[in-house]
């Protein structure tokens, strides 16, 4: 257990040291986080998301689902003295927008939460090809859609099984259910608070698979224990 804890802390500790050595900021975050947060919290977010990629705010593409759209040309990293000045500026702009537009921010939160965790539709992405959007190929759509469907099935099973075990399970089962819910919330939070793309969330399919195995094993164990418990009690009392 100690070795696993050391291994788990090695990467964030190294990143913390890297940020301090290069930017003189003791932060476990990335300087990209400010811009990524701004993508998910601005006036234009709900205009294009989830129909089209929020990357369009920082790219020359100005067509969403074949329709021309009017977006500001965000400068991104260029023009800032340092990476953390870039991070802080976009983070402040996002926070100011949330404070000034609470109703729209709440709507954006709900849209992203649904898109990241439950939406059965792939979020379209765009690639710079001149000033036009480039659609996914048929094979990419098929593979991506299948992978998304597997993930959604695991998420729904994990949510349902966790809630059931929290209500009806014993102490070990409840601990597994809480761990599963904590993992789901913890992994989804950055993409909901920032901007949610299934390509960033796809790793959760593998994590959800592991959780599903533990949840399923506890469901089987509880069902088996409840099925055999009465017969053991009857046998102990001397009746057949």
pLDDT above 90 coverage of the chain, percent: 32
Q: What is the DSSP string of 72-104?
A: ----TTTT-SSHHHHHHHHHHHHHHHHHH-HHH
* pLDDT bracket for residue 234 (50, 70, 90): very low
Q: Is the pTM of this model over 0.85?
A: no
Beta-carbon count within 10 A of 196 CB: 25
101 φ, ψ to 5°? -130, 65
- Is residue 158 within 8 A of residue 212, CB to CB? The reply is yes
Choose the weakest-confidence range: 87-91, 174-178, 225-229.
225-229
Please determine, for residue 127, whether its predicted confidence score (pLDDT) is greater than 60.
Answer: no
* 138 Cβ contact partners less than 8 Å away, ≥ 6 residues apart: none
In the chain the beta strands, taken as DSSP E runs, fall at 63-64, 67-68
Q: Distances from the Cα of 23 to the Cαs of 53, 90, 150, in angstroms?
A: 30, 17, 41
| pLDDT, position 200 | 63
Over the stretch 169-216, which tens digit does the pLDDT of each residue have?
A: 999 999 999 999 998 888 888 888 888 665 666 777 888 888 899 999
Q: Tokens 């709507």 sit at which residue?
A: 107
Q: What is the pLDDT of residues 43-54, one digit of tens each?
A: 999 888 888 878
Please name the residue that has the structure tokens 């965000």. 74
Whether residue 87 has a cis bond before it, omega within 30° of 0: no
Q: Are 64 and 125 in contact (CB under 8 A)?
A: no
User: Per-residue pLDDT tens for 9-24?
Assistant: 898 899 999 999 988 8
pLDDT of 130 higher than 60: no
pLDDT band, residue 133 (cuts 50/70/90): low
């Amino acid at each position: 257990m100690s070795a696993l804890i050391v291994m788990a802390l090695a990467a964030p500790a190294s990143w913390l040291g890297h940020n301090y050595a290069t930017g003189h900021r003791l932060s476990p975050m990335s300087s990209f986080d400010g811009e990524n947060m701004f993508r998910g919290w601005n006036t234009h977010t709900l205009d294009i998301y989830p129909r089209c990629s929020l990357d369009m705010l920082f790219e020359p593409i100005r067509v969403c689902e074949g329709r021309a759209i009017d977006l500001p040309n965000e400068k991104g990293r260029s023009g800032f003295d340092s990476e953390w000045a870039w991070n802080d500026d976009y983070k402040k702009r996002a926070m100011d927008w949330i404070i000034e537009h609470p109703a729209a921010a709440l709507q954006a939160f709900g849209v992203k939460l649904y898109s990241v965790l439950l939406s059965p539709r792939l979020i379209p992405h765009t690639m710079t090809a001149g000033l036009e959007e480039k659609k996914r190929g048929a094979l990419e759509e098929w593979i991506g859609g299948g992978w998304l469907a597997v993930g959604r099935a695991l998420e729904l099973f994990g949510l349902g099984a966790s809630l059931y075990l929290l209500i009806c399970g014993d102490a070990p089962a409840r601990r597994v259910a809480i761990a599963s819910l904590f993992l789901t919330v913890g992994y989804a939070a950055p993409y909901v608070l920032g901007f949610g793309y299934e390509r960033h969330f796809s790793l959760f399919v593998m994590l959800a698979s592991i959780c599903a195995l533990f949840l399923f094993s506890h469901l089987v164990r509880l069902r088996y224990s409840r099925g055999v418990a009465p017969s053991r009690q009857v046998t102990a009392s001397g009746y057949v």
